[in-house]
Structure 1
Amino acid sequence: MTVQSVAEAIHVVLGRPAAVGVVAHDGSTAGSLDGTVLRLHSPRAISYIVSHPGQVGFARAYLQGDLTVDGMNEAYPYEELKLLQGFNVRIPPPRELPDLVRVVRAAGISLEVPELPELETPSELRKLAHGIRHGRRRDAEAIRHHYDVSNRFYEMLLGPSMTYTCAVFPTEDSTLEEAQEEKYDLVCRKLGLRPGMRLLDVGCGWGGMVRHAVRHYGVTALGVTLSEAQAGWARERIEQEGLTGAEVRHCDYRDVAERGFDAVSSIGLTEHIGVRNYRAYFSFLRDRLRDGGRLLNHCITWRSPDHVPMRRGDFVARYVFPDGELASSGRIVTEMERVGLEVHHHENLRQHYARTCGAWCENLSEHWDECVAEVGLDTARVWGLYLAGSRYNFERNTIQLHQVLATRTSAEGEAGYPLRPDFA
């Protein structure tokens, strides 16, 4: 099928979805205009898409206001992303490219990369591009990019729990807050926490796990985070709640010198450390444990060991999680076992994360105007796309969420683990 117009060229990049129509800035149309309609308001929108015919091209056009979707809720664009196959647009095969280039050039549209959106200022790009990938300085900068947005923004997005990891919904009608409380309690039960024990929580965020474990299980807990904003918020909350035995440090987990912990929790940190660093990471956590101590690792994973790794040009890698990396749950288990940890329990919470992302989208939608005022329209739009797309991908089993429970079993084979799990 020969491409005759700019709108048809963009419809081809979308994969010619039957339920999606395109209206270009020159008035040309393609696809069905009775369903979801993408409107391209300027030649720059075409340049963004043609120069990067994938997720980033469409994202740049949308974030600049050059692309809109009729009737789309910017805070919760789930239905639109679902129709667009979860924002998984395609790069046309080589046989179609000459036709597309011909049409775009005939319309006088530049094939050069236009000026980047405000979110990607040159200084920001340099900041995230320098240094060794997953080196200490670059890790700290990547974490700041994602987590030091605004504590007030996260309060509106996440709700009172200030917990930015997968919740566990005990019933179909559980609220997000109830589900986050259940998640922390499940981790505590899996770790077998009891009064007087010492817990290390790496990547502790705003201190939710630390505060829950100290308040409900009587442990002494140390949490560490690379985000200064998170650490400051957590310390204030610990002081307000009058919790003794709870500490949150602003530091790299690799700077924790203490050893002999009874338990270590890692909730949502593994995604940031790099797959090649798994062995060193789990070795470090193992060395923080006493013999018989338990480690709970909670992280997002690919559904298959054969999944193509996240590319730097993907929307999430570019705008949300710089240097983020995922692996399959089997890789997590393998690396834990390679450093001598004994794996006892493995659980997939994929459906729970789909619900969690949906609840965060609802919060963002409810507080949209306040969130835009706090962080700006571009950033708020990024989060709407990101969370709605995450819900969609968890639902369709593109990505999963696994908790893996292991022990530092002694040389004599003593694991300190019951004959049957007691945390159901």
Structure 2
Amino acid sequence: MTTFKAEPSGRQTDKLNLAQIVEIATGGEMPLRFRAYDGSTTGPADAPFGLNLTAPEGATYIVTAPGDLGMARAYVSGTLEAEGVHPADPYPLLKALGGVHFERPPARTLAQIVRSLGPDLIRPIAPPPQEHLPRWRRVAEGFRHSKARDAEVIHHHYDVSNTFYEYVLGPSMTYTCAVFESENQSLEDAQENKYRLVFEKLRLKPGDRLLDIGCGWGGMVRYAARRGVKAIGATLSKEQAEWAQKAITEEGLGDLAEVRHSDYRDVSETGFDAISSIGLTEHIGAANYPSYFRFLHDKLRVGGLLLNHSITRPHNRGRMKAGGFIDRYVFPDGELTGSGRLISEAQNVGFEVMHEENLRQHYALTLKAWCENLEEHWDSALSEVDEATARLWGLYMAGSRVGFETNGVQLHQILGVKLGEDQAPQVPLRPWWVA
């Protein structure tokens, strides 16, 4: 660890180097090594992981946006490097950083830090080009969760490169939580198992009609169609819809399956036997839950089933909006609530909730596999996207894995059924699917 001298009065000397500032901010408890462009270092020299601040721009990002947003800006721009890990999977480093507790220094020390940094370093600069607009500037795209604005934020995240997604997601092209029978099961088998579980929970059979909203690359649509179900998928991503329709044609499923480049709210058909919503609710906005569930309720026949699969918070109170990094770089306008809020909203429009389960451990395993895929195909991925975007994806997926492992976020499947006016039961006495 570096040290800094104190004057007899107890006041610290005027000029602090960057390592000393890090020590102050972390209370001197730095579990990994840190070095900076000014030559200063701190932390255990033999730590397996480290952070290297390579340029003043990185310091500016961190200082002007304290927390995960500033760190992400520095990392994505390449001015904060992770040492001892591959950029496709910085999970071990993020895991170590999880034990760091940042402290706000006393006013006098804070003033000394500002003087040490100087005016040039604390003057905000433009963020990396991968960053989306702040919430207050997105009004030009429409009001939050309007059709136009939802289309824009989905385009920001999903219309990157289908080939890049193939490298990350694998042959299933499934960008949602898999369901693992064991920790050693392959990602492809676990994704197939997830579709099997959804299919069985929805009691689908040949000739039934399925609506899959937020369908991505059409994995659920094609799984159902292969089993004789007539399936319609809707996605706001043009690239996803084109990829899915091509896959449907290649599999000879055109008579049963269709994926539309469409807002789910524009689906005009009704009387579906089942609806699957796998990874869409995160984009809906909590204020829109009543209209969302009401729309789905109206689309089902009496006795029809809804399977809602979404990331949630582990509680039903407090903040719903995503943090700075997720909102600016990953899921703009995304909001998360607890599973209790989702169940209540579904019940309020008339669904009888039959079952729910938390699959957060499965999502941690899914993210681990995605990071491994990205690392394996790193050079090929860089032919599809720039290195900053690839680094961003590694950071996002590894950080999300930490979140699921530590119960910062969860993944819940909620199964509901539409009752008739007589409120008569519509499903068997006990669960009819294989867990």
TM-score scaled by structure 1? Answer: 0.94
Alignment of 1:273-422 (within 5 A): 273-311=284-322, 314-422=324-432
Deviations 1:125-176, CA, capped at 9 Å, x for gaps:
9568642011110000000001100000001100000000000012332110
Structure 1 letter corresponding to 2:42 = A
Structure 1 contact 128–141 (Cα < 8 Å) conserved: no
Name 2:3's counterpart in structure 1. none
Structure 1 contact 8–22 (Cα < 8 Å) conserved: no
Aligned-residue offset at 1:268: 0.3
Q: 1:298 & 1:340 partners in 2: Cα distance?
A: 18
- Which deviates more from structure 2 when the two are superposed, residues 410-419 or residues 256-265? 410-419
* Corresponding position: 1:18 with 2:30: yes
Q: 2:107 & 2:154 partners in 1: Cα distance?
A: 38
* Corresponding position: 1:228 with 2:277: no
Change (3 A) 1:411 1:121: closer
Q: 1:129 & 1:379 partners in 2: Cα distance?
A: 25
Structure 2 contact 351–418 (Cα < 8 Å) conserved: yes
* Corresponding position: 1:9 with 2:21: yes
Q: Which runs of 5+ in 2 are unaligned?
A: 1-5, 7-11
* Corresponding position: 1:263 with 2:240: no
- Which deviates more from structure 2 when the two are superposed, residues 116-125 or residues 190-199? 116-125
- Which deviates more from structure 2 when the two are superposed, residues 39-48 or residues 352-361? 39-48
Structure 1 contact 128–322 (Cα < 8 Å) conserved: no
Aligned-residue offset at 1:306: 2.8
146, 168, 171: which one pairs with 1:160? 171
Structure 2 letter corresponding to 1:242 = G
140, 143, 149: which one pairs with 2:151? 140
Q: Secondary structure at the match of 1:357?
A: helix
Q: 1:123 & 1:295 partners in 2: Cα distance?
A: 34
Q: Secondary structure at the match of 2:207?
A: coil
State the identity as a percent: 53
Q: 2:133 & 2:206 partners in 1: Cα distance?
A: 51
Cα root mean square deviation, aligned:
2.1
TM-score scaled by structure 2? Answer: 0.91
* Corresponding position: 1:64 with 2:74: no
Q: 1:320 & 1:89 partners in 2: Cα distance?
A: 25
Q: 1:121 & 1:373 partners in 2: Cα distance?
A: 23
Structure 1 contact 263–295 (Cα < 8 Å) conserved: yes
Change (3 A) 1:310 1:85: farther
Aligned-residue offset at 1:207: 0.4
38, 54, 58: which one pairs with 1:45? 58
Q: Which runs of 5+ in 1 are unaligned?
A: none
Q: 1:410 & 1:121 partners in 2: Cα distance?
A: 45
Change (3 A) 1:75 1:101: farther
| Number of residue equivalences | 419
Name 2:229's counterpart in structure 1. 219
Q: Secondary structure at the match of 1:304?
A: coil
Structure 1 contact 224–249 (Cα < 8 Å) conserved: yes
Structure 2 contact 364–402 (Cα < 8 Å) conserved: yes
Aligned-residue offset at 1:214: 1.1
